[in-house]
Structure formats: C-alpha cells, structure tokens
Amino acid sequence: MKKLLVAGAVALFGAVSAQTQNPALSKGKWLVEANTNFGVLSPSNTSIGFYTNDGNSLFKIGGEGGYFVADNLALKIGLGVTSLTTDSYYGGGSITSTAFNYKIGAKYYILSMFPVQVDFNGISGEGDSVNAIGFQGGYAWFVAPNISIEPGLRYDLGTAAGSTGIFSGNVGFAIHF
C-alpha cells in the first residue's frame, strides 16, 4: 500500500510539473539575477545594497548568473564587491576595507514558481575570509515571460567553528533568456 501511495504521489507531482513548466526555466536557458538583501552583513553579499549608521557605512554590489542543466534546475555562480567604511577611534578619520564576494550553487524552481537554492558562499578580503552554506526559498512572480521578481528568505550557516547562522530577506530581479 505504501508503495502505491508513493508511486501515486510521484505521478501526481510529475503531472503537475509538466503542466506548469515555464519555458523560461527550460533546459539550455540562462538566468541573470540581481538581489537586494535586507538583514545584517552576510557572506552571501553578491547583492546590491547600502547601509549607514553612526558614521559607519556599507556598500555592496554584485550579481549572479546561471545555466539551466535541466528543466527548472540551474547551476549558478555569483560575484560581488563589498566596501565597509568605519570611523576611526584613534586619531580621527575613517578606515575603508574592501572585500570580494563569491557564490556557487544550484537553484530549483518547484512547480516553476517556488525557487529554492543551496549554495556555498563567502567573502574574502585583506587576508581574511568567511565561508557559509546558504539556503534560500521564495516565490517567482513572472511579470513578463522572461522577467521575474523573486522575494525570498535566506539563511547562511557559517562553516567556521563557533560561527552562528545569519537570517535575511531579499528581493531578486531575474532575466531569463
């Protein structure tokens, strides 16, 4: 009986997936994406954002691209730059540091409208680096056949001993071609 239920669920999922396949998410297509990031500084900053508070400022810019190796499944890479300026407590002035951001992962669109992503990401600069495993989920709203707005939630789990996770929200803008 259990085998019959599992086979029925798989068949139903396959039928629903086949009926809702979006041509923009088909095998052989490309994806270019930019994300805004709401939350604290996280390693996954291949996004666009600006933050300032008490004389400290953070500017980040980046993007991601992917290739659909199967229907609804894209392999992705992302690159970005983060610049952090902090007030110096010793002798006045400010200190600016710049870091390189990177991301590699996979993104799958469940029913062609619910993107979930798993990736390895990090930030590296001035001799230091921080890496994390990222998990992301959301909703893809196609405003045109090849343009989607993708709000979502993200969790980055640091790989270093004693590191904690970082939770954030984002809104992605993707072009599919």
How do residues 89-111 score in pLDDT, each as one tens digit? Answer: 666 677 888 889 999 999 999 99
Residue 143 has a pLDDT of 96
- Report if residue 18 sits inside a domain: no
Total structural domains within the chain: 1
Residue 58, domain CATH: 2.40.160.20
Residue 68 lies in a domain: yes
Dump pLDDT digits (tens) for 2-32: 555 555 555 545 544 455 689 999 999 999 9
Specify if 56 maps to a domain.
yes
Range of the domain at 54: 23-176
40 belongs to a structural domain = yes
1-5, 108-112, 120-124, 149-153: least confident range? 1-5
Alpha-carbon torsion (52, 79, 106, 165), positive or negative: negative
Residue range 49-76, pLDDT digits in tens:
777 777 788 788 899 999 999 999 999 9
Q: Is position 15 within any domain?
A: no
Is the pLDDT score of 138 beyond 60? Answer: yes
Report yes or no on 118 lying in a domain.
Answer: yes
Q: Which residue is associated with the tokens 């396959």?
A: 14
62 lies in some domain: yes
Closest C-alpha to 71, from 117, 15, 110, 37: 110
DSSP-assigned states of every residue in the chain = -HHHHHHHHHHHHHHHHHHT--GGGSTT-EEEEEEEEESS--TT--SBEEEEETTEEEEEEEEEEEEEEETTEEEEEEEEEEEEEEE-SSSSSEEEEEEEEEEEEEEEEETTTEEEEEEEEEEEETTEEEEEEEEEEE--EEEETTEEEEEEEEEEEE-STT--EEEEEEEEEEEE-
Residue 107 lies in a domain: yes
